[in-house]
């Protein structure tokens, strides 16, 4: 049975002692050298180091529970047919409860970020830092990280404890704060961060640290568009104008752009490209900068157990999703082995010449393929433990799709279609078809232009464009509020595994509060159904 590994930060007891990292390596996965607040926060360098420590907690979002749970719970992906570990494949059957741990990773990761952000925001203003601009940036980074952490929490759990200072976190029995109050705190943090963050960073922060991966004004604008999109669709708050305005701010900034080639966006040789607005950086240089992210996608037949470059082979597209792409879509080109330049791979030999015992044909249930191959390491898997593929959280393409969705919901489907076709044109790059209108361009072949038809087009374009970026589950959940039954109907129609163990239940749209947290704090209530 395969080990159930995770690089997520351990769940933090809310009454635990507050600590901060003195380490200054932005990419360090599990920073060492903690120091108490009594002896820290004396200089601008201390403040910058404490800010970087928040990024180290952000790395938890690419852990197994946090990343693979919404991936496998959606209708877009399924677990490997040969997966022996139900704890790993369980989300594919929506098989979780408050004790399984599959859905609890967000709690530990988010509150680790919040704890460290609160320390920066409580202690930073009193520091007499010689670099006033960097001090302002650090405080804005902390506000963004706190707001972004709470954004994840409300999107998976609804009401959560809102703790905005070290003193509030010292309360051993906090209760769940109504989601509306949490959302308003998120808006405040992100809006203030957006006003103070740089549009882009210089190569160094002035303290000898690289700035690649640090948050920008564009990241804050994306998070605000994300929140208002969520509130408008899932919560039916009708804040589409705010979602439109923030997404348009990203588009009009001139800082970000689509890459000509879709797959090049994710390649390590193109780190820091103008499409990647917010990422978790993975340098792959040392074991401190590694992640297990790529192992979710690399085929297991390529020799993980021998250390030869393979992976877990965990996440495959459902048959429905793999067959759903429109003709000529470069995002579904199919390859073979590690030398492939395709978006998917069926089989083949690793760079270390490890091959499956047989060469399976397509649809062979014992084959690894098809598997996503957009996250392609620069060494083609020669060292399976060191990953240099950045984990995408927000991309410019999503800003375009957010804007299109908001415009459609505001009653402007023609504008929405215009932006959708920008994404479709890029999806055909390399096929020779990108410069001409084709029957599957929206609005060019007599498709209906009503709101519901364009909404469907937008959600499908999000599925193809943002495939395997952890977005589809949330799209299913939020659209279910707009069209009741959409979540369950899509899962039943598209994922053959979803009801193998038990019938679908609507309460699974919300994740359970981790039972470990309720055991530690009986003042916390559980989400309905668990």
Looking at domain 216-283+388-467, its CATH architecture is Alpha Horseshoe (1.25)
Higher pLDDT, 257 or 429: 257
Pick from 254-258, 281-285, 407-411, 494-498: least confident? 281-285
Per-residue pLDDT at 279: 97
**Of the candidates 240, 245, 202, the residue with the CA atom closest to the CA atom of residue 222:** 245
Residue with tokens 């049975």: 1
pLDDT for 327 equals 84
Q: Which of 36-50, 170-184, 198-212, 377-391 has the lowest mean pLDDT?
A: 377-391
The pair of three-digit structure tokens given for residue 157, joined into one six-digit string: 């759990």
**How confident is the model at residue 287, as a pLDDT?**
63
Confidence label for 440 from pLDDT (cuts 50, 70 and 90): low
The architecture that CATH gives domain 9-198+499-530 is: Alpha Horseshoe (1.25)
Question: Which pLDDT band, with edges at 50, 70 and 90, does 39 fall under?
Answer: low
- Whether the pLDDT of residue 350 is over 60: the answer is yes
- H or E segment and range at residue 20: strand 20-21
- pLDDT given at position 326: 87
Query: According to the model, what pLDDT value does residue 80 have?
Result: 87
User: What's the pLDDT at 206?
Assistant: 87
pLDDT over threshold 80, residue 208:
yes
pLDDT of 121 higher than 90: yes
Helix axes 64-73, 105-123, angle to 10 degrees: 130
Which residue(s) pair with 204 in the sheet? 210
Distance CA 369, CA 413 (A): 38
DSSP class of residue 32 equals: -
442 near 415, Cβ under 8 Å? no
What angle, 0 to 180 degrees and rounded to 10, lies between the N-to-C axes of helices 240-252 and 396-409?
Answer: 140
pLDDT value for 498: 95
pLDDT exceeds cutoff 80 at 513: yes
Q: What does the pLDDT look like over 75-94, one tens digit per residue? A: 999 998 878 888 899 999 99
Mean local confidence (pLDDT), 186-197: 98
* Domain locations along the chain: 9-198+499-530, 216-283+388-467, 292-386
Q: Is the pLDDT of residue 366 over 60?
A: no
- List, in sequence order, every residue forming a beta bridge with 335; answer none if it has no partner: 345
Q: What is the pLDDT of residues 310-341, one digit of tens each?
A: 678 889 999 999 999 988 898 998 776 666 77
- Between 110 and 25, name the one with better pLDDT: 110
- Scan for tokens 């659209």, then name that residue: 479
Render pLDDT for 465-508 as a digit per residue (tens, 0 to 9). Answer: 999 999 999 999 999 999 999 999 999 999 999 999 999 999 99
Digit-coded pLDDT (tens) for 224-233: 999 999 999 9
Q: Contact, 392 vs 279, CB < 8 A?
A: yes
Whole-number pLDDT of residue 285: 77
Residue 246 in this model has a pLDDT that exceeds 90: yes
Query: Which one is predicted more confidently, 215 or 382?
Result: 215
Rounded Cα distance, 314 and 468, in Å: 12
Query: Would the CATH topology of 9-198+499-530 be identical to that of 216-283+388-467?
Result: yes
Band (pLDDT 50/70/90 cuts) for residue 37 is low
On average, the pLDDT of the chain sits at 85
Q: Which residues have CB under 8 Å from 305's CB, separation 6+?
A: none
């Amino acid at each position: 049975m395969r080990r159930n590994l995770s690089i997520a930060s351990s769940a933090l007891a809310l009454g635990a002692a507050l600590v901060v990292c003195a380490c200054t390596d932005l990419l360090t996965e599990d920073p060492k050298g903690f120091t108490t607040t009594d002896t820290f926060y004396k200089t601008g360098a201390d403040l910058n180091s404490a800010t970087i420590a928040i990024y180290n907690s952000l790395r938890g979002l690419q852990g197994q529970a946090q990343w693979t749970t919404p991936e496998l719970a959606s209708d877009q992906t399924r677990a490997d047919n040969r997966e022996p570990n139900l704890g790993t494949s369980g989300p594919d059957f929506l098989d979780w409860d408050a004790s399984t741990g599959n859905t609890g990773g967000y709690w530990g990761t988010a509150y680790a970020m919040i704890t460290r952000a609160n320390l920066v925001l409580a202690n930073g203003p009193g520091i007499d830092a010689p670099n006033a601009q960097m001090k302002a940036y650090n405080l804005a980074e902390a506000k963004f990280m706190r707001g972004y952490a709470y954004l994840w929490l409300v999107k998976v759990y609804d009401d959560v404890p809102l703790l905005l200072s070290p003193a509030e976190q010292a309360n051993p029995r906090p209760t769940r704060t109504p989601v509306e109050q949490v959302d308003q705190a998120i808006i405040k943090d992100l809006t203030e961060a957006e006003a103070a963050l740089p549009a882009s960073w210089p190569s160094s922060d002035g303290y000898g640290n690289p700035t690649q991966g640090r948050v920008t004004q564009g990241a804050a604008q994306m998070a605000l568009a994300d929140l208002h999109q969520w509130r408008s669709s899932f919560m039916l708050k009708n804040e589409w104008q705010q979602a439109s305005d923030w997404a348009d701010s990203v588009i009009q900034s001139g800082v970000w752009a689509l890459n000509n080639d879709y797959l090049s966006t994710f390649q390590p040789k193109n780190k820091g490209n103008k499409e990647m607005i917010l990422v978790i950086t993975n340098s792959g240089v040392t074991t401190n900068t590694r992640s297990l992210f790529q192992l979710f996608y690399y085929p297991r037949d390529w020799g993980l157990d021998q250390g030869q470059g393979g992976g877990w082979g965990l996440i495959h597209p459902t048959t429905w999703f793999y067959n759903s792409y429109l003709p000529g879509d470069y995002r579904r080109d199919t390859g073979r082995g590690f030398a492939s330049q395709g978006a998917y791979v069926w089989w083949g030999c690793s760079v270390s010449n490890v091959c499956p015992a047989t060469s399976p044909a397509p649809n062979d249930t014992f084959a690894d393929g098809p598997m996503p191959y957009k996250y392609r390491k620069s060494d083609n898997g020669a060292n399976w433990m060191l990953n240099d593929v950045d984990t995408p959280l927000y991309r410019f393409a999503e800003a375009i799709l957010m804007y299109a969705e908001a415009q459609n919901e505001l009653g402007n489907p023609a504008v929405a279609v215009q932006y959708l076709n920008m994404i479709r044109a890029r999806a055909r790059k390399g096929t020779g078809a990108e410069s001409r209108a084709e029957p599957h361009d929206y609005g060019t072949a007599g498709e209906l232009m009503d709101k519901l038809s364009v909404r469907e087009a937008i959600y499908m374009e999000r599925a193809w464009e943002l495939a395997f970026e952890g977005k589809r589950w949330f799209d299913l959940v939020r659209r279910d509020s707009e069209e009741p039954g959409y979540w369950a109907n899509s899962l039943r129609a598209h994922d053959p595994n979803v009801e193998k163990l038990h019938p679908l239940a609507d309460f699974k749209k919300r994740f359970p509060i981790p039972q470990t947290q309720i055991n530690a704090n009986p003042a916390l209530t559980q989400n309905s159904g668990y």
